[in-house]
Amino acid sequence: MRREVVFVTSEMYPFSKSGGLGDVLGAQPLALHRMGVPTSVITPFYGRLRTADYGIHLTISDCHVGYPWAPITCDVYEADYHGMKVYFVHRGEYFDRRYYYNDHKGDYFDNCERFIFFCRAVMALLRRLGTPPAVLHANDWQSGLVPAYLHFWRQTDPFWADTRSVMTIHNLAFQGRFASRLFTGCGLPPQAWTMSGVEFWGDFNLLKAGIAYADMVTTVSPSYAREILGPAYGCGLEGILLARQHALHGILNGADYGIWNPAQDKFLPCRYGPDDPQGFAGKQRCKTALLDELGLAPELAHRPVLGFIGRLRGQKGIDLLLDIVPRLMERNVGVIILGEGNLAHEARALDLMETYRGRLCAVVGYTEDLAHRIQAGSDIFLMPSRYEPCGLTQMYALHYGTPPVATAVGGLRDTIVPWPSPEATGFTFGRSDPQLFLEAILDAVHYWEHDTEGWRAMMTRAMRQDFSWERAGRSYVNLYRQLGFDFS
């Protein structure tokens, strides 16, 4: 049996998703699988898991985990996802909840216990399956203990001796930081409780565990890999990241063009592409239909419509957008906002919709189909992020011919060629400032208004950018090769 790359993740689209992590883990392992790399995925079996389209079945009952007390077990379910195995760790009291990590009151009180259990269940499952993985590829804090367990266990257990690990940081701001007492009994030896291990200012830090003990550490864009080495973006972990800089790699995420492709998008009223003989008539029809769907003024069909899709939180810069809405309304543009998050931002967006009815629409929540139609029906896409490890929505916007206006940070810097370059695919501004954001939007609006030929050329260049997972997958194949595994 060929040894595999086993991805460990708390989300995987289409089974579970709260954001970009789910999108990435729904596409990256499958892309590698199709490239000939043997892969599988292990993820929790949530109460709201989407199972209808896949034959998920119980494969192991009562797999011994032993945490938080000795007799504890989990059940393991399995699905075939386009020829790739996906395993689901099930224990009702931990994962049978309406939301993944928190409800409207805040984070679940037992998140640390839940994901210690998950990480230990991953290791127990792999031991039960009988074939050690080639690579254990962990993602974000929820699976950060997996590389730590591997580091210590392979010193004494021959089963793990030749397995290597990768820790991918999707967002350094979310670290899984908990009280020190929760370290006791987690399964790591006392020597892990050091400044160079899992201890962080007296707390137990699960992401730091992965960074400290993984054989390789990756982030989701080259720019973010550089940014997190300093205090501005390092979130307090810049010290250990600098110490592990030799093992740190920035690999740009990919976009799943099998799902996000205007030429075959099942959610659109009209499909289109850069080589469409009718030009962008299809995109214009998508715009007209979107305005009608959201109750926006029909005359906006002949004015720029600006779209925003993302969490309504400080990281995404939604406050910058809300601050400048009155100025944007002076330019007779349309604004569409889709997302949920901070209750104050949600309320403010809904208040602005009342003030500018017919010109601004705010939809609190997230639906996959509407997100696709906003990407297709908008003229300009807005991403005023304060930091952005990679970002996927700007990649989707480019592929849908919707030039972004974005902060020049992280993956946004790596994916957008800024105007006025002759090869421009969008617009960027230097820092999170509402005036700079407004000026960049107005540059885009002016270009849209006064140079139709130039704007369409920019749209075409944007749509032809290649941010496919096949491109990104080659970088991961090279990374695994550095760890001693050649899957060619």
| DSSP result, 191-239 | GG-STTTTEETTEEEHHHHHHHH-SEEEESSHHHHHHTTSHHHHTT-HH
Give whole-number Cα distances, 79 to 83, 84, 200, 256, in Å. Answer: 9, 8, 38, 20
The distance in angstroms from the start CA to the end CA of the chain is 15
C-alpha distance from residue 442 to each of 23, 148, 450, 451 (Å)? 31, 49, 12, 14
pTM of the model: 0.92
**What are the tokens at 483?**
């760890």
- pLDDT per position in the chain (488 positions), as tens? 579 999 999 999 999 988 889 999 999 999 999 999 999 999 999 987 776 678 899 999 999 999 998 899 999 999 999 999 999 999 999 999 988 998 878 899 999 999 999 999 999 999 999 999 999 999 999 999 999 999 999 999 999 999 999 999 999 999 999 999 999 999 999 999 999 999 999 999 999 999 999 999 999 999 999 999 999 999 999 999 999 999 999 999 999 999 999 999 999 999 999 988 777 899 999 999 999 999 999 999 999 999 999 999 999 999 999 999 999 999 999 999 999 999 999 999 999 999 999 999 999 998 999 999 999 999 999 999 999 999 999 999 999 999 999 999 999 999 999 999 999 999 999 999 999 999 999 999 999 999 999 999 999 999 999 999 999 999 999 999 999 998 87
- Spatial contact of 172 and 233, defined as CB atoms under 8 Å apart: yes
Strand partners, 370: none
Check if the beta carbon of residue 298 is closer than 8 Å to that of residue 291: yes
User: What b/e sequence results for 272-292 when a residue is b if at least 16 CB atoms lie within 10 Å of its CB, and e otherwise?
Assistant: bbbebeeebebbbbbbbbbbe
- b/e sequence 411-447, b meaning 16+ C-beta within 10 Å: bbbbbbbbbeeeebbbbbbeebebebbbebbbebbeb
Q: How many CA atoms lie within 13 A of 74 on its CB side?
A: 33
283 is in an annotated binding site: no
Backbone phi, then psi, for 202, in 5-degree steps? 85, -5
* Contact yes or no for 396/260 (Cβ under 8 A): yes
**SS3 for 383?**
strand
Distances in whole angstroms, Cα of residue 347 to Cα of each of 319, 339, 384, 438: 12, 12, 19, 22
Cβ neighbour number for residue 333 with a 10 Å cutoff: 21
